[in-house]
Structure 1
Amino acid sequence: MTVVHPPPTPGLELSNPPTDGISNLRFSNHSDHLLVSSWDKSVRFYDESANPLRGEFMHRGPVLDCCFYDDSSGFSACADNTIRRIVFSYEKEDILGRHDAPVRCIEYSYAAGQVITGSWDKTLKCWDPRGASGQEHTLVGTYPQPERVYSLSLVGNRLVVATAGRHVNVYDLRNMSQPEQQRESSLKYQTRCVRCYPNGTGYALSSVEGRVAMEFFDLSETSQAKKYAFKCHRKSEAGRDIVYPVNAIAFHPVYGTFATGGCDGFVNVWDGNNKKRLYQYSKYPTSIAAVSFSRDGRLLAVASSYTFEDGDKPHEPNAIFVRSVNEIEVRPKHPNPPA
């Protein structure tokens, strides 16, 4: 049985949170800076160590995702079909490119030096951010997908694309002519989030139906025998099993354990190799829309933001919490400790 020790507070609450639903938040790979995208049409740039809002960039439509390029700039994916490049220090932005429908996901690949975007227009696009803004020559390639793109994740030269219809395409960024693998989610319901394992061997996939699947890239029988799915973010009430969507997954950069955030307002930490829950944090005010570990795993950012899973109803205001991570919360427990 997992022993749960809820901490007394949810962490430091950042000032000036978005005024509408939070779509994503991410720590920088180079510092404790935090980037937050929102349905209030903004991208916010925080310096977590000092807790000030360092910059706020307003777009023409809801912002559905964001990512860092380096500590001085980043990119955003917008519901007005644009991909924008943001330069924090100069407080300016320009349009990197466009899709034919809202842009749902964005990632920057350090391996390929490209911005990768996934859209509800059922395409994936790769961009060279070094080109002139808004010019077609920044577009490296367009790759049709079987359905609307819901989530992207990168590890090394590997890209995993999760779409509507439970499709999963795996690409090698060095040869994007066709997917390296075309899969179907092993979960029965709509995909919410996909995240690659830090060691590059596979990916975790979450669904609206309170489950997470652990998958492996290696198609050998031995590797495929290791894949499994588990139930999470559920509760029993009056004899009924209440199931919550799992909106977010974030892997710890040191230990390879991972956090999940659900519409039940909880963040859980899991040891995927040993199939155990390591920790559950105290309940947050409302649904967990996004989670992100800092580059060294010392901090965990949590977006507490109602995701309208039960329609438009009164709900707690949006909040961003940043908590210090104790090693006991994220370090795997070895099943057979050495003598």
Structure 2
Amino acid sequence: MAANSNPNKSFEVAQPPNDSVSSLAFSPKANYLVATSWDNQVRCWEIMLNGRFLQSTPKVSISHDQPVLCSAWKDDGTTVFSGGCDKTAKMWPLLSGTQPTTVAVHDAPIKEISWIPDMNLLVTGSLDKTMKYWDTRQPKPAHTQQLPERCYALSVRYPMMVVGTADRNLILFNLRKPQTEFKRVISPLKYQTRCVAAFPDQQGFLVGSIEGRVAVHHVDDSQQDKNYTFKCHRHNNHIFSVNSINFHPIHPTFATAGSDGVVNFWDKDSKQRLKAMERCDQPITCCAFNNNGSMFAYSVCYDWSKGAENHKPEAAKTQIFVHLPLDVDVKPKPRTAKGGKR
């Protein structure tokens, strides 16, 4: 029996990229979905819901000169930022139809990008071991922050920002004083950091690594007893990378996506898995909730975790799916009384 690329019967987005997807981002205002890809393109679709039936309309796309690695929306939902291997970030007034402009430049690929509405600044994290803040009206950065190593992951929940770099560094910033590190910790996980996600309440963050494990870490020293790590994305004694972590926009639950082709939904406070979706036939490289959590997008494609020699382009079709999660999949479970479950 052939493996199934869509075992969850999710809705397939029309006209997907021609190569692996590197980021997915929903507009904060409407159901516009943006995907960046290794085919040098940034694409946007409008996702429409009619009852339980979804429809996708490809809207527009722009090109970079090299593969695109990251994307972010401005908080007003009109503008998209994208960055990648051409060492630039572009600002794209998506809905007005005007051309993108270059708003950030680094000395190496831009791996992460985020818009910070409270500061009216764009932040970019690069493999050149710097992070830069940009006023998009100015050609030079408002501030350049040296990092101890290459930036691999970044997550902002104002006033907190967490940055994951090579050598397992995790650097916390209080964005009210963005020019100084607030705290630096070594990842509780033994292997390379792949993704980070700041808690919605800014009390801590999640870290996912290439070893199929997630750490739940609190910022405040008085809450260190609440820290823990857990295994996930493991299959028949094989260990897979955690490629993406995303919090639900309403509930304090989150999704993890892995190289094993599985998406899991978790409740960090009760330390439970709420749901494991059925396993897809390729890795899941990234995932994203829409602004109210009613839609969940994920990309199924080759993620290069098994090297170029295992890349089979004829079989490695890139697909983007949108899933409609049930409440029971994403709502926290009622807390059990102290003393544990009966």
Same fold (TM over 0.5): yes
Matches within 5 A, 1:5-24: 9-24=8-23
1:163 to 154, 162, 165: 165
Residues 57-102 of structure 1: CA deviation (Å, up to 9, x unaligned): 0110110001111322110112011011112131411100200000
Alpha-carbon distance in 2 for matches of 1:203, 1:268: 18
Say which of 59, 68, 72 aligns to 2:73.
68
Query: Aligned partners of 1:8 and 1:144: how far apart in 2?
Result: 44
Judge conservation of contact 1:106–1:115 (CA < 8 Å) in 2. yes
Q: How far apart are the structure 2 equivalents of 1:146 and 1:28?
A: 32
Aligned with residue 305 of structure 1, among 301, 313, 325 = 301
Q: Which amino acid aligns with 2:177?
A: N
Q: Where does structure 2 lack aligned partners over 5 or more consecutive residues?
A: 1-5, 49-54, 338-342
Q: Verify: 1:58 aligned to 2:63, yes or no.
A: yes
What residue is the counterpart of 1:41 in the other structure? 40
Q: Secondary structure at 1:177's aligned position in 2?
A: coil
Per the TM alignment, residue 8 of structure 1 is displaced from its structure 2 partner at its CA by: 6.2
- For 1:251-275, what per-residue CA distance to the aligned partner results, in whole angstroms no more than 9, with x for missing partners? 1111111100000000000111111
Match of 2:250 in 1: 254
CA deviations on 1:271-312 (whole Å, 9 max, x unpaired) are 111111110111223101001111111110011121011112
The 8 Å contact of residues 24 and 290 in structure 1, kept in 2 or not, is answered as: yes
2: CA distance, partners of 1:186 / 1:156: 23
Measure the CA separation in 2 of the matches of 1:77 and 1:284. Answer: 28
SS in structure 2 of the partner of residue 29 of structure 1: coil
Distance in 2 (CA, whole Å) between partners of 1:56 and 1:91 is: 12
Residue 340 (structure 2) aligns with: none
Stretches of 4+ aligned residues off by more than 3 angstroms = 7-10
Determine helix, strand or coil for the equivalent of 1:180.
strand
Partner of 2:51: none
For residue 4 of structure 1, what is the aligned residue in structure 2? Answer: none
Contact 1:55 1:91 (8 Å CA) reproduced = no
Please name the residue that 1:172 is paired with. 174
1:308 is matched by which residue type in structure 2?
W
- Does the C-alpha gap of structure 1 residues 91 and 17 become closer, same or farther in structure 2, counting only changes over 3 Å? farther
Structure 1 alignment gaps of length 5 or more: 1-6
Q: Percent identity?
A: 35
d(CA) in 2 for partners of 1:205, 1:287? 19
Equivalent residue letter for 1:92 = Q
Aligned match of 1:128 in 115, 135, 146? 135
**What is the RMSD computed on CA atoms of the aligned residues?**
1.3
Shift of 1:176: 1.9
Whether contact under 8 Å (2:143, 2:179) holds in the other structure is no
Q: Aligned pair 1:232/2:232, yes or no?
A: yes
SS of 2:332's partner is coil
Report the equivalent of 1:142.
144
CA distance in 2, matches of 1:127, 1:147: 20
- 2:265, 2:329 within 8 Å by CA — same for their partners in 1? yes
How has the CA–CA distance of structure 1 residues 196 and 10 changed in structure 2, closer, same or farther, with 3 Å as cutoff?
A: farther
After superposition, the Cα gap between the structure-2 partners of 1:248 and 1:10, relative to the gap in structure 1 and judged at 3 Å, is farther
Match of 1:85 among 83, 91, 113: 91
In 2, the alpha carbon distance for the partners of 1:8 and 1:188 equals 32
Quote the Cα distance in structure 2 between the aligned partners of 1:114 and 1:218.
26
2:207 and 2:98 map into 1 onto residues whose CA distance is 36
Displacement after TM superposition at 1:9 (Å): 3.3
Letter in 2 for 1:44: R
Tell me, in whole angstroms, the C-alpha distance in 2 between the residues paired with 1:73 and 1:10. Answer: 31
Is this contact kept in 1: 2:7–2:280, CA < 8 A? no
Is the CA contact (8 Å cut-off) linking 2:7 and 2:279 kept in structure 1?
A: no
